[in-house]
Amino acid sequence: MTEDTTGSASGSNEPEGDDDLPIYEPPFGLDAVPGFCERLVEYLIAESPDDEFTFEGVEGEESQGVWILPLGGYDPNEDKTLTEGAPADRELPPGGYAEVADTWAQGVRRVLHQAWGAPLVRTPKLVGVSQEPEGILDFLMVAVSIDRAEMWDRGELCCVLLTSWDGEPMTSMLRQILVVLPREYAFGGMAVLADDEITVHDLIMHGEHPLELRRRAWLMSTLAGQGEVRVRGTALEASRFSLRSRGGTTTVWTFADDGRVLVLMQDPDSEFITSAAGQLIADQLSGAEPQAAGDGAEAAHPEELLEEARLILIARMLDGIPEDLRELIAAPAENGRGEPSEHELEFRVLGDQPLPIISGAVWFDGEHWRVTRNLLEIGSLNDFGMDDFGFADAVRRPYRLGGSFTADDVAGRATDERRRQIEQLFAACPYPEQQRPADHERLGYGLPRDATHGDLVAQIERITEAWWSTDPGSVDWKDRTFSVGGRDLRDDDGRVLRTVLAVAEPWTVEVLQAWVGGLSDAMEDRWGPAFEMQAREPRTGMERKTPVARVMRGIGIMSAPMWWVNGHAVVLVAGAPDPSTGEDPQAILVIGRADAVVDLMRGTRTWELRQRTRVIASLATEVAGEPAPQEIAWRGPHLAGSSVRPDAVRGRVRADDHYWVWHFAHDGRGLLMSFPVDAAAAEEARLSFEDQARLFAGVPVDLLSLVTDRDPDGLYPVVTRERPDGSAIPGFLPTASALPAVQAVFWRDAYDWRASGGMLERVRPAFAAAVSEAQGDADAAPDTAPDSAPDTAPDTIRGHAPHAAPDTSNPFATLYSAVIGVPQLQWAVGAGEEFGSHILADDRYSSVVFGHPVAFEQAEAAYAQLGDVHRVALTGSLNQFLDTVLGMPPRRYVLDAALANPDPRNRAEIAFLLLEDLDDLDASVQLSHLTPVNVLFENPTLGADDRLLLIRLLEAGAEAGSGLGGPGVARHPIVQLADRDLDDAVIELFVHSLLMRGELDVTAPALPDGRSVLAYVEAGEFAHGRSRTGLLAQLREAEGGFPFEP
């Protein structure tokens, strides 16, 4: 090195011509840094350079009104001295170039501190519900992953120094950046970056002319308020019209005589009023130093904090409205008789400024309707739309924006007398009705802007292609791949993408219908005639249990056109919903996976399907020698509140030419797999292990543990490979060495039957093309298994070229094909149909499913073997219990039977299952003189493992004492335990759980003779003769009120 890096003022520390060094230093010494920065500030104020520029040998760039220049740096990837065998450089310090760069960077910080004083230290501040950067400096720090900045206020501009290693100090990259930005940028939020254009919202009033709005304001104010009043004492002459509803929602229109308009709204139930202040407080407190006790005044009451935060937000919201319009807000007014007029809004004082209590504000500047930058920023931080500021309830609906506003519209179902009054009022209105807006304006921002119907169709096609390979949740926030008409699609559990394309009000629904009709026509022109998607099964009227149908039912529109586009369903759910839903007329775009449209089991509940398959399999064992249903361990979830993991159950059903292997779990989930009955056909359809693994893709790991590396015990064939390196992990495909050799895989989540990822890939356009090419047959059936995975398909067939015709074939022909046995299964289990002994005993049915006749008595006996729910809860296993119930019975009425089950495992499994949903079971209810705790303690096989069950009972509200009848009816649980022939250590576990409830008085009368629990145990008269010294110690400790450990 030829320059001193510790403070020399002469020249650069970087040798001239050494551009390939791994460090960067500007062409001047450390002592020159403050002067350079001062001159830079003057230059930027005077010249405001755009884009790239060079100042005194330092290259800089401008972005968003912020200037960025390097002041130092080190790149280890460019450090040749770190390469193996590089000669030592004796001129370098021990730390090499990294130390040189660090010494320079710390020197820059030191000289700036000396010249400008201590800086304001900034850390990135994230605010709002989405925790986004508050200002441009916060955004920059987050973008470059630097968590500390030093800032100096230099008047019009601020200088910010960012110094950071991007990893381990002295071994990673060092960055030292000088950021120069306007003072308002440094101390303001993102709103300061917004240009004037962003405040323009020309369609917010749905195209209504300002004179029409004045007419409506006059009518509503005269009808339900003070009428028109004139503002006094201000530079502007103006009229004010107010409307206040019974619920407190208030609208104040101020029409200045120069043509401008100011609208203030206050909706006390709006999101702005109810949540924005709390979010502001949370943002301000995040990262704040906690105040020491006793410092300053007492903390303000939370309600006072909220009130102050609300006023701060209101002040920000109004900042940006022209001063002369703002002056009109609090100005006095008088009516036509010269009498003072009361303001309909409430006011508070912030500092010396009176502020109206409002939830939103908009104004008309004579040419455009506008909102302030700060209102937009508040909306962005809190994920608010204009309706969250009260616009819908305060403005759009009461004034019927976009719709007609006649005496008939306002009168509605009013009495004849009231209607005459309204008609007279309309006749007296001094402001004439204006021409209606164009249709494209009447829905305001309820329609996509700057996108034709053809554009929307193209965007939808793009999404149907991209969804095969891209997760919508993983794309960058700036990525518009999953956006239609500027509306981002929401991902519902990976099966449905949805967004509201258009919204209307009841009085503009005809405009919405016309727009939807145009979009539907464009879709048909591109994709052909639509199918009719119904939320209910047309033949049975049963609700379809699918994601798409749930969207439709949720908004009250039960029928919609549907198209198949690139293997996905595109559904346009539009119209006026059922009034009971409370939803506005709207058009919702739904894009669904192929298995999200129809229910594989046509509405048959899973519990019912489980029972049917269990009965069929049991009969098949009896009459045809088929393998019997069996329980199987797996990696499923534990029952809530326990360490109990119940076994699943599996079996097989023959459905004509296919076997279907079923697995059902205690949590309602399941797995279905098919393969041909004919051995030769099964062998012909057999896939390689790799292709079979791809078929199982997307199935949850715990469900996969039911079939990976498992002994099929004759239920299904398997395909194997040599075990890969490492131990097998049940359910983890990369480590598996054996999988079922099957053609179809469906699995059930908490709500629906779903196709595996590999099944869905079969309807992917690129997959079908790869199959056709591999077979050399352009007309190959799309459900034919490929010789190679879709990942091996050539790029030319993987996706469509831009504007290529989309694939509009119906994927059901593949996904639910008879080739893989789906219709056969639906027929065999009576999907969507009634089912019972008469079906099982039908000759045609029994010949197809069993290959042998079944007598009606045999079928009846198979159902009878399931038993009664209460009996099975008392004597059977969990899987027997689940085979018997059709949906969960009232849990409380089965609980006592489960607690009395003598088998410890069965007792725990059934009882914990009943206790999983504590909101659905109140264990405080007694069905006899015994509480649930009494019932458990009466069980002859009670053991230490039942302690968790006791805790769960207590959490569900079970009585820890004698119950409703008191000691005269049932024994106290602790007395019960003391009398049990159990070891004292076991008893202590249960008693501890009871005492931890904190509600038991061990000295209160608890026996019919008046003795307390403590007195009873102290007497020590037990038939079993066991010691109860440990129990006695527990009770005495509880008597003293001392805390004790379990």
Question: Among 195-199, 292-296, 318-322, 916-920, which is the least confidently predicted range?
Answer: 292-296
Contact 560, 533 (CB under 8 A): yes
Element holding 670 (H helix, E strand): strand 670-676
* Half-sphere exposure for 368 (CA within 13 Å, toward CB): 11
Task: Kindly indicate the confidence band of residue 5, based on its pLDDT and cuts at 50, 70 and 90.
Answer: very low
> Vertex 756, ends 755 and 762: CA angle to 5°?
85
Q: Which of 656, 669, 646, 655 is nearest to 613 (CA)?
A: 655
Q: CA 839 to CA 612: how far, in whole Å?
A: 11
Q: CA 45 to CA 43: how far, in whole Å?
A: 5
Contact 280, 378 (CB under 8 A): no
Mean pLDDT (the chain, rounded)? 88
- Please give the share of the chain, as a percent, with pLDDT higher than 90: 70
DSSP codes, 155-179: TTEEEEEEEEESSSTTTS-EEEEEE
Element holding 571 (H helix, E strand): strand 568-575
Residue-level pLDDT at 861: 96
Strands (E), 75-134: 120-122, 126-127, 132-133
Element holding 771 (H helix, E strand): helix 765-775
Q: CA 666 to CA 645: how far, in whole Å?
A: 9
Residue-level pLDDT at 129: 66
SS3 658: strand
Tell me: the pLDDT tens digits for 529-571? Answer: 999 999 988 777 788 889 999 999 998 999 999 999 999 999 9
> How crowded is residue 398: how many other Cβ atoms within 10 Å of its Cβ?
17
Residue-level pLDDT at 909: 97
How is the beta sheet containing 753-755 ordered, strand by strand?
630-632, 648-655, 658-664, 670-676, 744-748, 753-755
Contact 650, 714 (CB under 8 A): no
Give the predicted TM-score (pTM) of the model. 0.79
SS3 380: helix
SS3 994: helix
Contact 150, 121 (CB under 8 A): yes
Phi, psi of 254 (to 5 degrees): -120, 115
Task: Kindly indicate the confidence band of residue 781, based on its pLDDT and cuts at 50, 70 and 90.
Answer: very low
Alpha carbon of 43 to those of 36, 64, 162: distances in Å? 10, 18, 21
Q: Would you say the C-alpha torsion 15, 19, 21, 27 has a positive or negative sign? A: positive
Q: Exposed, middle or buried, 201 (CB in 10 Å: 0-12/13-18/19+)?
A: middle
Question: Among 347-351, 754-758, 932-936, which is the least confidently predicted range?
Answer: 347-351
Element holding 872 (H helix, E strand): helix 869-875
Q: Which of 182, 143, 196 is nearest to 65 (CA)?
A: 182
pLDDT surpasses 50 at 527: yes
Tell me: the pLDDT tens digits for 359-394? Answer: 999 999 999 999 999 999 899 888 899 999 999 999
Tell me: the pLDDT tens digits for 452-464? Answer: 999 999 999 999 9
Tell me: the pLDDT tens digits for 637-682? Answer: 999 999 999 999 999 999 999 999 999 999 999 999 999 999 999 8
pLDDT surpasses 50 at 978: yes
Contact 753, 747 (CB under 8 A): yes
SS3 230: strand
pLDDT surpasses 70 at 790: no
Task: Kindly indicate the confidence band of residue 124, based on its pLDDT and cuts at 50, 70 and 90.
Answer: confident
Tell me: the pLDDT tens digits for 30-50? Answer: 999 999 999 999 999 999 998
- Please give the share of the chain, as a percent, with pLDDT higher than 70: 91
Q: CA 857 to CA 185: how far, in whole Å?
A: 85
Q: Would you say the C-alpha torsion 549, 550, 551, 553 has a positive or negative sign? A: positive
Q: What is the mean pLDDT of residues 405-434?
A: 93
Tell me: the pLDDT tens digits for 146-204? Answer: 989 999 999 999 999 999 999 899 999 999 999 999 988 888 776 676 678 889 999 99
pLDDT surpasses 50 at 291: no
Contact 372, 317 (CB under 8 A): yes
Tell me: the pLDDT tens digits for 620-639? Answer: 999 999 999 999 999 999 99
pLDDT surpasses 60 at 775: no
Task: Kindly indicate the confidence band of residue 727, based on its pLDDT and cuts at 50, 70 and 90.
Answer: low
> How crowded is residue 156: how many other Cβ atoms within 10 Å of its Cβ?
12
- Contact partners, residue 784, CB within 8 Å, separation at least 6: 771, 775
Two structure tokens written together for 531:
């199918």
pLDDT surpasses 50 at 981: yes
Alpha carbon of 1012 to those of 701, 929, 975, 994: distances in Å? 54, 20, 9, 16
DSSP codes, 896-955: HHHHT-SSHHHHHHHHHHHTS-GGG--TT--SSSS-HHHHHHH-TT--GGGHHHHHHHHH
